[in-house]
Chain A
Amino acid sequence: MKIEPKATKLERVVRYERQMHCCRLSPDGAYLYGAGFDGRLHRWTLNQKDRHESFAAHQGWVETMVLHPDGSQLFTADSWGQVSCWPVGPGIPKRRWTIQDAHLTWLRRVTVSPRGDRIATCGNDHKVRVFSSGEGKLIRELTGHEHAVLSLAFHADGKSLTSGDLFGNVRHWDLSTGKCLRSLDASRLYKKFHQYDQGGVRCMTFDTAFRCLYCGGFEGTNANQAQGTPTVIALDWASGKIQTIMTPRNAFTGPILDVVYHPAGYLIGAGSSEAGGVLWFWKPGQAKNQHEVRYENSFRGLDLHRNGARLAAAAFGDRGGQRGGNGRRLTNGEYVGFEGSIALYTLA
């Protein structure tokens, strides 16, 4: 399908009292799943006035979830290292399996292979692990990163997996042998700020032809606060060389925390800042975005519905700016936290 980024419309917003970090739309478009800081699995039934239900799922933060290619299962993972598999659909979801300690530290990303037979995870322990999607059994451990591994993407060839770490090292793994075939350079996304390691490959995705790997994060920073320029590095898959450095046309300070590739030929990135969230639409090969869409709160995870007509964006923030800032800030005498939302956009 073709889309016109300027025609992107905010279709609806579902809200929750806690921050939302990731989201997925069911293939039939009936359900919107979300998760975040409360560790619960949230489900909104979109054709029933956005009826909200939530289910006990995890103990740590849930920053990552992915749908099986057939749409029947959802995989969620948390910052305490747990991965769970859930059925998609109505009723109370009963987890099909759980791996308690897929990683012993903060698990950053879970992704699923194009055929759906395997899932991969990565974490602060410098490891990438591959499990069977059916039973959650460990198939392979990929070692070689020397820093926290923040992002993952399967290649359509079924043999390759890519991973990106804090220092901007991208590794291309052979899944049949577990060997690292090559390293690609996205180190522009890392900065040593005084005594702190900043940035990293926060997100990655391939284009639909699997000719280009897009790595997102931020470049440069003037504080220990991820205050750099949102940046996507497009790596040519064949040569491994940098093809394009993609940044926003308009000034923005903050990281890109997720990217998706639209088959109509747009890379869509989600930005997070103090001033709110932004969706950027880039054409491949172009350094500056063609269009941007602003939102009241900072964005986190994205999901492009498989029909290409809807985009979900998890966000969190502070409506009205009354909850943030230094010192004691009470709302009606209560100490309340920030809230979450998922914005649903129609792409036309």
Chain B
Amino acid sequence: MKHPHSCNSSEHALTRRQMLQSLGVIAGATGVAGLAEPIFAQQARRRQKQVLFVWLDGAMSQLESWDPKPGTQFGGPFKSIQTRLPGVRLSELMPRMAERMNRFAIVRSMHTRFEDHSQAVDPIQRGDPKNRGVPYPFLGSAVSKLLGDQGSGLPPYIHIKPGSGGFFYQDAGFLGAEYGALTLGDGNPPANLAAPEGVTAEIDRARSELREAVNQRFLRHRTRLLSNTYEHTFRIARQMMNHRSLFDPARLGRKDLDRYGGTEFGRHMLQARRLLEAGVTFVKVTMYHWDTHGDNFNCHLSGVPQVDQALSAVLDDLTDRGMYEHTVVVVLSEFGRTPKINGRIGRDHWPECWSLGIGGGGIRPGVVIGATSAKGTFNAGAEYDIGHVFHTIFRALGINPDKTEYDNNGQPLPIAHEDCSAIRGLLA
């Protein structure tokens, strides 16, 4: 079944004006949730926690990546290779990550509920919480809220993806539009970042002062909620204008682009690194079209090396810059792919057992959590849902999910599924 993330997208190109409009409307409709324990945000800010979230939309096969079963019934044509971790092997399509497995970790026994894209994509990114009648935020919105303003002067949640961009306020769920994702379609910046010709810095400043004065007058007898959201969006627009070069793909160096693989995905990962360097709290990079019901192995032969190279490069760069110790890097899809190989030499959807990669700040490096059966058909032993992963990521960021709640206009809500907990052995 098709889903709106990979086809017929309703996304729209972003201009500053559109972003202002969308934020204002949604804020008015939903309100803005607070934190039950805001003190935590102050603690996190001092540690400058960040996240790189790599979303392989459509579902990358675990058997052609993190959990190979070569020479078995469902193993596929590829060999496995030894990693830096004794006894741990990856698909031969991931030689670079094999060399870096001492710095990364794998969860091989994911088990989730949904077997169709339309069911899975949103809930997985929202942590699949218990249904409380409100839309939970995507992880990027949640982290932006929970960590608060870390002082970068940039939007806290930026999403880089192929295709069109926009402001994805829906990501924020009940948190309110200001926690939505600023989305750079094809890695391009929002339109009209530069001030109009003839508007000098002095004129621009005067215009801002006038706007603020009018705002203050308007607010004398009105709630601050709507105005706060408008102020926030103006602030984001101003931030982007002040950092125009950061959003300019033309500023990416050829050597760096080559090191990241020379691919579209590599370019987006390089842009993600630059945004993290600039202090963006949460950067999401999406790579589409992993839904390989046919010709699975040739498709993964084309796709997995792109992930391997770009992911390895960003791990190296974050490490070299001293950022890896405070940046959580997570790579996942909405589910895995079937062990059985269908009549079109494809693999179908498989939430029964699948893998994700994770590393960086707060994550124990060089571990493999969980295992699948010899043929890779089902989990062997303990298995983990996405709620466990959310608990783990929050813990790695210094957030205690047992003591932190959302305050949705007076309704306290857990930040992660309360029946789950952090994955033991994955936290540093």
- Decide whether A and B are members of one complex: yes
Flag whether A328 is at the interface (Cβ < 8 A). yes
Within 271-326 of B, Cβ neighbours of A (below 8 Å) are at 287-295, 298-299, 301-303, 306
B294 touches A226 (CB 8 A): yes
Flag whether B115 is at the interface (Cβ < 8 A). yes
Flag whether A323 is at the interface (Cβ < 8 A). yes
B303 touches A196 (CB 8 A): yes
Select which of A196, A298, A338 is within 8 A of B340 by beta carbon.
A338
Within 204-258 of A, Cβ neighbours of B (below 8 Å) are at 223-227, 254-255
Q: Provide the bound-state CA to CA distance between A49 and B350, in Å.
A: 40
Select which of B78, B92, B291, B301 is within 8 A of A223 by beta carbon.
B291
Q: Which residues of A lie under 8 Å from residue B348 when comparing CB positions?
A: 324-327
Q: Provide the bound-state CA to CA distance between A18 and B343, in Å.
A: 11
Q: Which residues of A lie under 8 Å from residue B341 when comparing CB positions?
A: 19, 37, 337-338
Within 169-206 of A, Cβ neighbours of B (below 8 Å) are at 193-198, 200
Q: Which residues of B lie under 8 Å from residue A164 when comparing CB positions?
A: none
A223 touches B289 (CB 8 A): yes
Q: Mark A258-291, 1 if CB is under 8 A from B, else 0.
A: 0000000000000011101000000000000000
A197 touches B302 (CB 8 A): yes
Given contacts A195-B162, A195-B289, A226-B294, contact A297 B343 (CB under 8 A): yes
Q: Provide the bound-state CA to CA distance between A79 and B78, in Å.
A: 7
Given contacts A223-B291, A225-B295, contact A106 B77 (CB under 8 A): yes
Select which of A79, A105, A198, A225 is within 8 A of B291 by beta carbon.
A225
Q: Provide the bound-state CA to CA distance between A231 and B265, in Å.
A: 30
Within 150-167 of B, Cβ neighbours of A (below 8 Å) are at 162
B294 touches A60 (CB 8 A): no
B294 touches A227 (CB 8 A): yes
A266 to chain B, nearest CB (A): 26
Flag whether B407 is at the interface (Cβ < 8 A). no
Q: Which residues of B lie under 8 Å from residue A37 when comparing CB positions?
A: 73, 341
B120 to chain A, nearest CB (A): 10
User: How many A residues are at the interface, by size bracket?
Assistant: 35 or more
A327 touches B350 (CB 8 A): yes
B351 touches A60 (CB 8 A): no
Select which of A106, A195, A226, A328 is within 8 A of B78 by beta carbon.
A106
Flag whether B254 is at the interface (Cβ < 8 A). no
Q: Provide the bound-state CA to CA distance between A324 and B344, in Å.
A: 10
A60 touches B77 (CB 8 A): yes
Name the residue on A nearest B116 (C-beta): A326
A102 to chain B, nearest CB (A): 14
Name the residue on B nearest A323 (C-beta): B340
B92 touches A195 (CB 8 A): no
Flag whether A75 is at the interface (Cβ < 8 A). no
Within 67-97 of B, Cβ neighbours of A (below 8 Å) are at 70-71, 73-74, 76-79, 92
Given contacts A226-B295, A226-B344, A338-B340, contact A148 B301 (CB under 8 A): yes
Select which of A18, A196, A254, A326 is within 8 A of B302 by beta carbon.
A196
Q: Provide the bound-state CA to CA distance between A75 and B341, in Å.
A: 26
Given contacts A326-B349, A337-B341, A338-B341, contact A61 B77 (CB under 8 A): yes
Given contacts A195-B265, A327-B350, contact A226 B298 (CB under 8 A): yes
B399 to chain A, nearest CB (A): 33
Q: Which residues of A lie under 8 Å from residue B293 when comparing CB positions?
A: 225, 274
What is the interface of chain A, defined by CB distance below 8 A to chain B?
18-19, 37-39, 59-61, 63, 79-80, 105-106, 124, 148, 193-198, 200, 223-227, 254-255, 272-274, 276, 297-298, 316-318, 323-329, 335-338
What is the interface of chain B, defined by CB distance below 8 A to chain A?
58, 70-71, 73-74, 76-79, 92, 115-116, 162, 263-265, 287-295, 298-299, 301-303, 306, 338-346, 348-352, 375, 377-378
Q: Can you list 5 A-B contacts with CB-CB less than 8 angstroms, sorted by A residue number? A: A63-B77, A124-B301, A198-B298, A223-B294, A337-B339
